Structure formats: structure tokens, C-alpha cells
Amino acid sequence: MLIPCGQYKPARNSSIRFRDLITMINSILSKFKQKNFLIGFIIIIAAIILVAIYKPNVLFEGLQRSALYALIALPMALLLGIVDIVNLAHGEFMMVGAYFAYFMNVQFGMDPIVAVIPALFLFFLFGILVYYITFKHIIGKEPLSQLLLGFGVGLVLAEGITVIATNFPRKLGLDYVSSSATIGGFTFGTFEFVYVAATIIILVGLQLFLKKTDTGQAALAVGQNPRGAKIVGINVQWIYLLIFALSIALIGAIGPLFGTRYTIFPGVGDQYTLKSFILVAVGGMGSLNGVVLAALILGMAETLVLSSLQYGKWADIIYFALIIGFILYRSHQRQVK
């Protein structure tokens, strides 16, 4: 609204925003004062600097790999943090999304990146259907029931794709995925930075949704205390449905991005389900920022090992070492307390 000349008064919101900024800065500084956080932060920064100096190609490739891991793990973190469900069919939903993009490209010439948009809507509806048929009935039950149900849903999806498309590996021939750039004498792929951009978009989008919208704040309340949220009038079952469908929509839409670069087959999602679960566990149940940080550690470590001709074959055990180290660290923390 325009204010006539001579009637301008300083907005009170400016002082409120300034106080909010000071509060945010103090909160950040308080985290840095925590010993464990500060030590871990210094170690990660130092490791990244050393990698950038001695193996700059590992820095770029590791960042791209980390972004892919974080991108796939974020929907699982959202679901586990609010609905408290471990979806062992997580990777299979991504696989189905990749096959959807492959079919749309082969049959109709649709670019896989464009296929992300219809995949987002279709998998949201698919998530609603799956929720009502399966996961709705095991919310609040023992974890074993959730694990078995997720495993069963994953088998149905994988076997269904096998029946429809066989288990023959498929790959889209896209010229732009092999694009590269050369800096300082070393060459690196550039298309994979799409994963970095997508991770930032999803992370920021989820943070804004959870913190700036009424529905998102209600979802956070349900994740923290479902019974208390129900008492104050929040429709807990509707929140569960929404978050589950949103999680499936996101991982389904990630499938086309995954299928642009990687070969797809019915079992391609298995390893990403396991890695996503490990990243969520290490990063903190429901902590989106923690998942991204854990993915950065895992991606950089794997890329560093893969860059060695002598030890490259050991890269697949990095995430097992990460979860073992995390368990030992947590156990040590409990003993200290």
C-alpha cells in the first residue's frame, strides 16, 4: 500500500525482523559452541579442502554423487519423521518412476526431465491408493509389520515391472547426459549437477512447506506428538495420508531424473532403499539437513575410494562402515551420559 508523503512512519516489522535475525544468528552460534558439532564441522570442511587440492575431480564427482543420494533419501526422511513409517519399497517406487519416463520417451518422445511433471501428479495419486490399501493399516503397529509390508509392496512392484517389461536392463540414449567441462586440466561431467539443483529445490521446498504453511506446521506437530495434535483438533489421519502421498510423489518424480543417467532394471532400487535408510538413521530421524550432511559424507567417501585403482572395489562397503561407526558413536554417547 502506498503511503502519502509526510505520513510515513517506520514500520514496526523492521524491528521485529531485526530481532528475528539476531535470534537466528544466536541460534546458529549456539550450535557452533557445541563441541561435537564444531569438531565434526571442522573435520568435514578440512576433508573437502584436502580433496579439492589433491583430487579436484573427486570433489565434483563426489558432490554429484552426494546430491543423488540426498535427493533419493529426502522423501524417506520426510515420511519417517512425520508418519513414523520405514518404507522398504522406497527404491522400487523410484524404479517404477524411471520405467514410466522410459516408456513416455520411447512411445511419445517425451524427454525424461519433462516427464518429472506428470510423474509427480500420477505418483501422488498412486501414493494415496497404496496408502489406503496397505500402509494405513499398520501405522502405530510394531516395526516388524511395517518392514514386512514395505518389503512385500516392493516385491509386488518389482515383479509387476518384470512381467510387463521383463528384467532386461534398459537405458535411454540421451546426448546431453554425456556433457562435460574442463577446468585446469581435468574433465568432469556437468549433467549430474541436475541432481544438485534438484536436491536444493526439494530441500528448500520441504523446509518452506513444513515451517511456513499451516499444513506443514500441523504435520510437524503430528510428527512430534500425534495424540497431542489430535487433541488440539488436527486431523492426524489426513496428515498421514498427505505426507505419505507427498513422499511417494517425490520419489516417483525422482525416477525420471535417475533414469536419464543410469541403466534401469527391476532390482535397481534395492541398494538405494538401503542407502537412504542408512542416511536417515545417521542424519537423524526426520532431520532433512542431517540427511543431506550424511549424504555428503557418504558420497565423498565413496568417490574418493572409487578414484583409487587399488581400493576402488571396496567402495560398496563404505555405507556399511558408516552405519557401524554411527552405532558405535551412539553407544559411546549413551555410556558417557
Closest to 299 (Cα-Cα) out of 50, 43, 66: 66
Tens-place pLDDT, residues 234-270: 999 999 999 999 999 999 999 999 999 999 999 999 9
Alpha-carbon distance of 93 to 114, in angstroms, equals 18
Cα–chain center distance at 66: 10
Residue 29: pLDDT band (50, 70, 90) is very low
Distance of CA 195 to the CA centre of its chain: 11
pLDDT score, position 335:
60
Mean pLDDT of 11-36: 50
* Mean pLDDT of all residues in 187-207: 92
User: For 318-326, what is the mean pLDDT?
Assistant: 74
Radius of gyration over alpha carbons of the chain, in Å?
Answer: 22
- Please provide the distance, in angstroms rounded to a whole number, between the alpha carbons at the two ends of the chain: 56
Closest CA to 254 of 117, 159, 105, 155: 117
The predicted-structure confidence for 69-114, as pLDDT tens digits, reads as follows 999 999 999 999 999 988 999 999 999 999 999 999 999 999 999 9
The reported pLDDT for the residue numbered 112 is 95
What does the chain come to in residues? 337
Query: Distance (Å, rounded) from C-alpha 271 to C-alpha 91?
Result: 8
The crossing angle, in degrees rounded to 10, of helices 12-33 and 35-54 is: 80
Residue 9 pLDDT: 45
| Domain segments of the chain as ranges | 57-168+175-336
57-168+175-336: CATH, from 1.10.1200, 1.10.3470, 3.30.420, 3.40.50: 1.10.3470
| Predicted local confidence at residue 13, as pLDDT | 47
CB-CB contact of 236 with 222 (8 Å):
yes
Tens digit of pLDDT for each residue in 124-156?
999 999 999 999 999 888 888 888 999 999 999
Residues 250, 202 contacting (CB under 8 angstroms): yes
Dist CA 116 CA 58 (whole Å)? 29
Rounded mean pLDDT, 205-212: 94
pTM above 0.75, yes or no: yes
Q: So what's the pLDDT on residue 189?
A: 83
Average pLDDT for the chain: 84
- Please give the helix or strand (H or E) that residue 313 lies within, else none: none
> Which residue type is seen at 92?
E
Q: Are 103 and 329 a contacting pair, CB within 8 Å?
A: no
Q: Look at residue 214 in the predicted model and tell me its pLDDT.
A: 94
- The Cα–Cα gap between 280 and 78 comes to 9
Retrieve residue 38's grid coordinates: 564444531
Measured CA to CA, the distance from residue 83 to residue 242 in angstroms comes to 10
